[in-house]
A and B are shown apart, each in its own frame.
Chain A
Amino acid sequence: MGWIDDKNNLVQQINLSEVLGDLPDNKLISNIASVKSTSFNLVPFLLDLMSIACKDTSNGAKGCLPSVGKGANPSSSKGAKCDVLRVITEILVDFFPVLIRIVKEGIIKGIKAGLLCPADFKIPSLSLSTSVELKPDEFDSGKLTTLDPTVFPASLFFGEPDKDLNVFLANLIQSGVGSTGNWKNLLNFEVIDYAVTSGGISTTDLGLLVKIDNSFVGKEFDVFLKDYMNSIELFNFDNFIPNLMEEVNGSISNILNNSDINYDFSIDKATDKEKVGKMVEKILDTDPCEEDFSLSNNFFTFNSDELLDIEAKAKNRLNGQKIFNYSCTPSVTSNLEKDLKIFNNSKELIKEKPSEVKSIIKSNTNRMLDDMANRIGFGEIENIKKSISIDLALALPKLSTSLIFTPKIMVLFQVAKKLVTNQTYPEPNTVNLNSVNFTFDFAVANRVFFEYVVRESGAALLEILYNQVKEEILKIVACIVAVLIKEAVNKKIQILKSLTGGFNKVSGLIPIKENNISQFL
């Protein structure tokens, strides 16, 4: 069966329960865009499916899909529990630990696959292969370590000092040449002067000498990878939604660009970012298990239409804007500082009441979405919020992928590459390192690693969504089974009654009081 047919069949199966449980809803399956889509990215489809299948008994409805039928509350076609906005917010907030766990595992798999390394070898004692000198762009093309992790809005990029390696490295590098540090007995760092030639002029920049801690000599590389990933905070929970917003519209970068802080987020860098985003979309739009699938150059080259789209999005990103297609008319929304300060201002509150962190983040997210939707100012607010929240969910794999370009993963990648191949990225005479196009070039040059991280990130989101949808579908199926059993029992009773009671010839046709149609019968 075809891809679209399969999706259609699934929606029909769910709608069938309406017939079995109550009366059919006039839902036009063909109107669901994600069903008709030929893309293999199932995130939009699962979000739609969740919305269709969600069972909310709070509105007093009856039947297998209680949001329809006689008992449904006419003022609310879907209860609050089934609201897509709520579903997405809960997925982003409640399933954060699951997401982090799967993405961490994905990064480890990606490193092993990208380096064609089974990782069961033991780390040698030779200091040559266990230490690596990195130029600034080779571990921090985004200049994250030049920012002050304590000052808003840069603080939104960072996590807790004792958990986030990016904070550790920013503090270390800003302490100047010669500064040294040890990260949780895993890696030793030293800030070094690194000769850089730019425009024919030779200067020096702050580089990093990284060495695997001696305590890991003789231990399996796989153990090192796992211990390393367990030692770092992948995302800071408090800053997760702001970083998702940064992924959607470049909001944090835009505020930094417009501040006194020396942060050079140029149109070229914005284009680089959009190109990587497009590659993520292209990869997730495909099924890697199709017979004729190969990660060809088509994934890393763009036609003129794609380039125009990338250019337009890059310009918007530079301005901290995003066009939301919540209706036929695309709209731009931005009041970046206000959006992000909602989260920054609640950090103290979270410290005071750590047990309420989830509800605070959810409340902040809803407030931000409300503000953004109201700023657009026309159309149906709920639809605009839904559109923005779906964009946030779709940005999740891109955010996870962006993470690999930050120092905490780039350092690990470079150390692993040196250990396995005795080289770092870029290998000599292969790619001219250009900090502006670094992320795109890196993704192209390390496509297996990149594809793996993208697919694992997408799979993490899909797994969470799948389990949510499954829970709702099983409720429907349980309801259908109950209906079928009841029907079978009733049928048997009717048959037995008809056999024992006989046919009442006197009664004949049942008279219909409401309507006399006897002249037509």
Chain B
Amino acid sequence: MAKLGCNDVNPNEINFKQPRSILNGLLSLFRIPTTTSGSVAPKQLILASKSRPGLSAKSMAANVIQRQAEAGLNVGPLGTGAISPAEIMEKIRMEEVVKAITTQMKIDLAVTPGGTSVVSGTAGPIPVVGNAIITSILGGNAIAS
């Protein structure tokens, strides 16, 4: 028996006689195009990040617990006066997150070529100082704290 209606329309259009085509059409509506974002901040400002204190599990837990009210949850002790286990759990969760970031997170660096570097040496008896362009990609590692 012929496959009725399977080839009735352009493959890029929805074929309403083919259930999978309809579902795929609906799913494709959720494909949100992404664009590359530029640098988050100027390089000079990024250098200022060395003054950052680093992650704090306690600070993060406090912030999350403070915002619990936005989700309609009570903030504070239970009716019995005991501390809410959910809030204790939040502290544990944040501690584990920070622990994982600080002890297990791996950061590989790749520095874009094209930067300049001061080079020095001698040309026979004459000392020479000059600028050189870095043509290779430099690598490195970092840790998060």
Contacts and interface: CB of A to CB of B under 8 A. Distances in A.
Interface of A: 3, 6-7, 9-10, 13, 23, 40-42, 46, 49, 113, 287-289, 293-296, 448, 451-452, 455-456, 458-460, 462-463, 466, 469-470, 473-474, 477, 480-481, 484, 488, 492, 495-496, 498-500, 502-503, 505, 508-510, 512, 514-515, 517, 519-521
Given A477-B32, A515-B65, A521-B62, A502 B51 contact: yes
Given A448-B2, A477-B30, A498-B52, A289 B20 contact: yes
A451 B26 contact: no
A316 to B, nearest CB: 29
B62 A510 contact: yes
Given A452-B4, A515-B87, A480 B32 contact: yes
A252 to B, nearest CB: 30
Main secondary structure of the interface of A (DSSP, over half): helix
Contacts, number: 144
Contacts of A456: 5, 17
A503 B53 CA distance: 7
Given A289-B6, A294-B1, A466-B26, A495 B17 contact: no
B30 A510 contact: no
B83 A520 contact: yes
Contact of A458 (B1, B17, B75): B17
A521 B29 contact: no
B83 A503 contact: no
A254 B29 CA distance: 46
B66 A510 contact: yes
22 contacts: A10-B26, A10-B27, A42-B23, A288-B5, A289-B20, A294-B1, A452-B5, A456-B5, A463-B16, A466-B16, A466-B26, A473-B29, A481-B32, A488-B37, A495-B41, A500-B48, A503-B52, A508-B59, A509-B62, A515-B77, A521-B62, A521-B91
B10 interface: no
B88 interface: yes
Contacts of B91: 517, 520-521
A512 B75 contact: yes
Contacts of B88: 520
B45 interface: yes
Contact of B22 (A466, A484, A514): A466
Contacts of A113: 2, 4
Given A496-B40, A505-B53, A515-B87, 19 more contacts: A6-B23, A13-B30, A42-B19, A49-B26, A287-B18, A288-B17, A289-B5, A456-B17, A459-B5, A462-B16, A463-B14, A466-B26, A503-B51, A510-B59, A515-B65, A517-B62, A519-B83, A520-B87, A520-B88
Contact of B41 (A289, A448, A452, A496): A496
Contacts of A499: 41, 45-46, 48-49
B107 interface: no
Contacts of A521: 58, 61-62, 91
B44 to A, nearest CB: 9
Contacts of A520: 83, 87-88, 91
Contacts of B1: 294-296, 448
Contacts of B118: none
Nearest to B56: A509
A514 B26 contact: no
Contacts of A23: 70-72
Interface string B61-91: 1110110011110011100000100011001
A219 B26 CA distance: 42
Nearest to B60: A509
Contacts of A477: 29-30, 32
A13 B16 contact: no
